[in-house]
Amino acid sequence: MVFADADGEQGAQFYLFSAPAHTTYPTVRVLPDEGNVQELGGQETGNARTLRQYIHLNGVRSCQVVMGVTTLHPGSMWNTMPAHTHDRRTECYLYFDLPADARVIHLLGERTETRHLVVADRQAVISPSWSLHSGVGTAAYSFVWAMAGENQEFTDMDPAAPASLR
């Protein structure tokens, strides 16, 4: 959702993500520079990136949601490799900060039968728990990642070795 200011210029943008809740937690405001920051990947693998966790077990609490933002460093194109799945939870991506003429090739499907989506700026992808996910762009970009499910452990993922992909 995009709002315009009084002069008609593009203003605030909102991305809504929700999941059923069975417990109440307080509403918390988190600013972009807050949260848990991790530097991941490297230039040699084309995926040097800054991951910011906002909603997670040791941060803002939620019944089922885990959410953050990843920003690729200049010169990096892969958002994660190896591709992976998350048993017992769905992950959604919202790609942004992508130049108008750039695209992300989002991999999905089963490791023995992958497919791809060509994604532009401010487009989202839903990845069910059985589907692997990974993406590579024609330019550096950022994305909101949001997961919903009973399992909120961020590191609980099943990697798919690149050689196993078909």
Q: Residue 1 pLDDT > 80, yes or no?
A: no
Catalogue the E-assigned strands of the chain: 2-4, 10-13, 36-40, 49-55, 65-72, 83-85, 89-96, 104-110, 113-119, 124-127, 132-137, 142-149, 158-160
Confidence of residue 139 (pLDDT cuts 50, 70, 90): very high
pTM of the model: 0.85
pLDDT at 156: 67
Q: Residue 53 pLDDT > 80, yes or no?
A: yes
Q: What's the alpha-carbon Rg for the chain, to the nearest Å? A: 16
Secondary structure class of 164 (helix, strand, coil): helix
Mean pLDDT (whole number) for 84-109? 89
Query: Which residue in 96, 91, 141 sits closest to 123, CA to CA?
Result: 96
Confidence of residue 59 (pLDDT cuts 50, 70, 90): confident
For the chain, which residues make up each domain, given as ranges?
33-151
Q: Residue 126 pLDDT > 80, yes or no?
A: yes
Q: Residue 122 pLDDT > 70, yes or no?
A: yes
pLDDT at 49: 94
Q: Identify the CATH number of the domain defined by range 33-151.
A: 2.60.120.10
